[in-house]
C-alpha cells in the first residue's frame, strides 16, 4: 500500500513521505481494546508514538500519545481520551511545510488526510528530520548556484561536480559581459575621472552584500508563510534607508579624503546611497516574481539575483556620475 502511495504523489509531498503503518482505533474502543490490539499487531507498525482514532468511514477524529496506553483506566474509550484538535497536512502539502508544522506546534509527527478528512497516513518524526536536513542542504546548494547534486556531494566525481557548478557560472559570465558593455559605454568619463573606475568593485560588492542579506531573510520569511507583505516592505524601506544613508555618508567622507574633490565624493556617496537602497528591493522583486510563477525562490535567489544586482548597480552608478559631472565638474 505504501508503495502505491509513493507513486501517486509528487516526490516532495506529504503523500510521498507518509506511512500508513500506524496504530488506528475506533472512538468506541476502550483502552483495554487498544492494548489488546497493540499486543497483537505491534510488529506491523512503523511508529507507535501516537494512536490515531478513526470513525467507520476512516475519517480522522483525533489522536492520543502512546503514554495513555499505560496511564489511562482500562474502560475509558479512545473517543474520550483523544485530542480532537490536530494539526493535519494534505497529501499534496510540500514536505518542507509539513516539517515546519511539526517544529511550530511541537509535534513528533503529522497526520495526512484527504480533503474529506479521511485518514491517509502519517509523516513520522524520523522522516521529518530527514526532510529538515535535506531542505537545509538543498537551500545552501541552490543559493550558491549548484545544481543537480544531491546529498552525497562528498563522493561525487570531479566531472559531475564541474557539471553541477558550471551552468550558473556561465550565466554569470554572460552577466559579466553585459556589465563590461555598460562600463565600456562610459569609457570617456571613467578615464577622465579614473577614481570612479577604481570604486567599481566596491559599488558592485556592497550592492551584492546588501542584496544577499535581504534575499536570505526574505526567502526564509516567505517559506514561513506568515508574511504581511505591506508591513514587511515598509520595514525594509526603513532598513534600506538606514543602511544606505550610513554607508553613503561613510563613502562620501572616504571620497573627500581620497580625491579631495567634493563632487567626486558626492558622486561616490550618493551612488552608494542609491544603489544600496535599490539593492534591498532587487531580490525581493525577483523572489516575488519566481514565487508567483510557482518556482522555488531559492533557485534564482543566489547567482541570478547577484548578476541582475551588478548590472543595475553599475548602470545607476555611471548615470549618477555622468549627471553629477555635468552639473558640478568644471567645463
150 binds its own copies (CB under 8 A): no
Q: Which of 12, 49, 117, 167 binds its own copies (CB under 8 A)?
A: 49
Q: Interface with its own copies by CB under 8 A: which range of 8-16, 81-89, 201-209, 321-329?
A: 201-209
261 binds its own copies (CB under 8 A): no
**Strand, coil or helix: 19:** strand
CB of 22: closest distance to its own copies in angstroms?
12
Sheet holding 50-54, edge to edge: 24-25, 50-54, 60-65
Using CB under 8 A as the binding rule, the residues of this chain from 6 to 35 that contact its own copies are none
130 binds its own copies (CB under 8 A): yes
Nearer of residues 12 and 130 to its own copies, judged by Cβ: 130
Following DSSP, what letter does each residue of 208-253 receive, concatenated? HHHHHHHHHHHHHHHHTT---HHHHHHHHHHHHHHHHHHHHHHHHH
DSSP 92: T
Q: In sequence order, what are the residues at sequence separation of 6 or more whose Cβ sits closer than 8 angstroms to the Cβ of residue 83?
A: 62, 63, 64
By DSSP bridging, strand 119-123 and strand 110-113 are antiparallel
Q: Interface with its own copies by CB under 8 A: which range of 9-17, 113-121, 133-141, 323-331?
A: 133-141
Site string for its own copies, 74-103 (x = CB under 8 A): -------------------------xx-xx
Alpha helices in 156-199 (DSSP H): 158-185, 187-192, 194-198
Q: Which of 88, 172, 189, 319 binds its own copies (CB under 8 A)?
A: 172
267 binds its own copies (CB under 8 A): no
303 binds its own copies (CB under 8 A): yes
Amino acid at each position: 500500500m505504501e508503495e502505491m502511495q509513493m507513486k501517486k504523489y509528487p516526490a516532495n509531498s506529504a503523500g510521498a513521505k507518509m506511512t500508513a503503518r500506524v496504530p488506528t482505533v475506533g472512538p468506541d474502543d476502550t483502552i483495554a481494546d487498544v492494548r489488546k490490539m497493540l499486543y497483537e499487531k505491534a510488529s506491523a507498525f512503523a511508529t507507535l508514538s501516537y494512536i490515531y482514532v478513526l470513525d467507520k468511514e476512516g475519517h480522522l477524529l483525533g489522536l492520543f500519545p502512546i503514554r495513555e496506553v499505560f496511564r489511562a483506566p482500562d474502560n475509558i474509550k479512545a473517543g474520550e481520551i483523544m485530542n480532537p484538535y490536530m494539526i493535519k497536512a494534505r497529501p499534496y502539502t510540500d514536505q518542507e511545510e509539513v516539517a515546519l508544522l511539526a517544529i511550530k506546534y511541537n509535534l513528533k509527527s503529522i497526520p495526512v488526510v484527504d480533503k474529506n478528512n479521511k485518514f491517509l497516513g502519517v509523516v513520522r518524526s524520523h522522516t521529518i528530520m530527514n526532510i529538515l536536513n535535506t531542505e537545509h542542504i538543498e537551500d545552501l546548494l541552490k543559493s550558491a548556484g549548484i545544481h543537480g547534486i544531491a546529498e552525497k556531494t562528498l563522493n561525487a566525481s570531479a566531472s559531475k561536480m564541474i557539471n553541477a557548478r558550471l551552468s550558473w557560472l556561465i550565466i554569470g559570465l554572460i552577466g559579466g559581459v553585459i556589465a563590461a558593455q555598460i562600463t565600456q559605454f562610459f569609457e570617456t568619463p571613467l578615464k577622465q575621472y579614473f577614481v570612479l573606475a577604481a570604486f567599481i568593485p566596491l559599488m558592485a560588492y556592497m550592492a551584492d552584500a546588501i542584496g544577499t542579506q535581504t534575499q536570505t531573510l526574505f526567502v526564509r520569511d516567505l517559506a514561513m508563510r506568515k508574511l504581511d507583505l505591506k508591513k514587511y516592505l515598509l520595514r525594509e524601506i526603513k532598513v534600506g534607508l538606514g543602511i544606505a544613508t550610513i554607508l553613503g555618508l561613510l563613502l562620501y567622507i572616504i571620497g573627500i579624503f581620497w580625491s579631495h574633490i567634493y563632487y567626486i565624493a558626492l558622486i561616490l556617496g550618493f551612488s552608494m546611497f542609491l544603489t544600496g537602497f535599490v539593492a534591498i528591493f532587487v531580490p525581493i522583486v525577483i523572489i516575488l516574481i519566481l514565487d508567483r510563477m510557482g518556482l522555488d525562490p531559492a533557485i534564482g535567489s543566489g547567482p541570478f539575483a547577484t548578476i541582475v544586482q551588478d548590472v543595475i548597480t553599475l548602470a545607476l552608478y555611471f548615470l549618477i556620475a555622468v549627471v553629477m559631472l555635468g552639473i558640478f565638474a568644471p567645463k
